[in-house]
Amino acid sequence: MRKKVIAANWKMNEEYYEGLTLFTEVINIINDEVTGEQEIIVCCPFIHLHSLAELSKGYSKISVGAQNLHQAECGAFTGEISAAMIRSTGAEYVIVGHSERRKYFNETDKLVAQKTDTALKNLLKPIVCIGETKKEREANEQYDVLKRQLVEGIFHLNKTDFNRLIIAYEPIWAIGTGVTASPAQAQEIHKFIRQEIAVKYSREIADEMTILYGGSCNSENAATLFSQADIDGGLIGGASLKSRDFVSIIKAYHVP
């Protein structure tokens, strides 16, 4: 059975004590109300990692992750954060190749591959993001774009390392726009991704891969999106900054 995951991406939000308050609220509500086996991951700014990892101890449902890492192990890269630094905070996950990193910081598929390798080498679990722009979708290029991102970003991995990933599909045209891919559109893409994994690796590995939806998912549309056969949860942006909204999304995924 595939692991079901709801991951928060706080992006560049929440001052130090604001973050602690938000995370504490989330933990308390989850502890009181969430009974399923879905895994919850909170990907926060670096300033929060250690404190949130400490707060999460004793709560088996909740893990902490970073939002980015540098591809080098260490060195003269002022302002950057290494995988070893992230791991030393107690965090277990890291987002790699988010659409905002690709757009604003010119991250390429080759760089995504390097960062993924570095994360895995340092025992972090990458949440690797792929997705097409509005222009690419309108040109019906989404499948070519996604296949390229898979091939150049993560399909170089052996089966063992590949099994440690989570993939997040981001329809870039639906992030922060208020527009959401329809359940049918999202399912179509998730199914395509799973088929490509089956061709590259095996049907067994494809069937076990957790693939998240990451495009303006909220408490109103989460249940419908999560009911699709190939959608295994969500990478949640803005809605994760409000504890009640985030937990409502978690509860929308009914896991026995």
Active-site annotation holder among 98, 100, 107, 132: 98
pTM of the predicted model, to two decimals? Answer: 0.96
Q: Where are the domains of the chain?
A: 5-252
**pLDDT for 179 beyond 90:** no
Q: Let me know if 220 is a catalytic residue.
A: no
Active-site annotation holder among 39, 107, 170, 190: 170
173 against 149, higher pLDDT? 149
**pLDDT for 215 beyond 90:** no
Q: Which two tokens stand for residue 124?
A: 């972090």
* Per-residue confidence (pLDDT) for residue 99, from 0 to 100: 95
| Cα dist from 230 to 14, 156, 207, whole Å | 32, 23, 9
5, 233 Cβ separation under 8 angstroms: yes
* Per-residue confidence (pLDDT) for residue 15, from 0 to 100: 98
Lowest-confidence pick of 112-116, 136-140, 144-148: 136-140
**pLDDT for 178 beyond 70:** no
Q: Let me know if 190 is a catalytic residue.
A: no
| Cα dist from 198 to 92, 101, 209, whole Å | 26, 28, 10
| DSSP state string for 61-94 | TEEEEES---SSSSSS-TT---HHHHHHTT--EE
C-alpha to C-alpha distance for 34 and 222, rounded to whole angstroms: 15
**pLDDT for 223 beyond 80:** yes
* Per-residue confidence (pLDDT) for residue 253, from 0 to 100: 80
107, 101 Cβ separation under 8 angstroms: yes
Please, what is the Cα angle at 54 between 122 and 93, to 5 degrees?
A: 30
CA dihedral 81, 91, 30, 8 (to 10 degrees): 30
pLDDT tens for 81-90 read 999 999 999 9
Task: Show Cβ contacts of residue 210 under 8 Å, excluding neighbours closer than 6 positions.
Answer: 2, 3, 4, 5, 166, 167, 232, 233
CA max distance for the chain: 49
* Per-residue confidence (pLDDT) for residue 255, from 0 to 100: 59
Q: How confident is the model at residue 36 (pLDDT cuts 50, 70, 90)?
A: confident
**pLDDT for 176 beyond 70:** no
pLDDT above 90 covers a percentage of the chain that reads 85
Q: Which two tokens stand for residue 101?
A: 């990193």
* Per-residue confidence (pLDDT) for residue 225, from 0 to 100: 93
* Per-residue confidence (pLDDT) for residue 82, from 0 to 100: 98
* Per-residue confidence (pLDDT) for residue 35, from 0 to 100: 85
Lowest-confidence pick of 89-103, 139-153, 172-186: 172-186
* The CATH number of domain 5-252 is 3.20.20.70: yes
C-alpha to C-alpha distance for 245 and 256, rounded to whole angstroms: 21
Mean pLDDT of 103-116: 97
Mean pLDDT of 88-112: 97
Mean pLDDT of 171-195: 86
Query: What is the average pLDDT score of the chain?
Result: 94
In single-letter form, the type of residue at position 195 comes to Q
| Cα dist from 223 to 81, 218, 219, whole Å | 35, 9, 8
* Per-residue confidence (pLDDT) for residue 175, from 0 to 100: 74
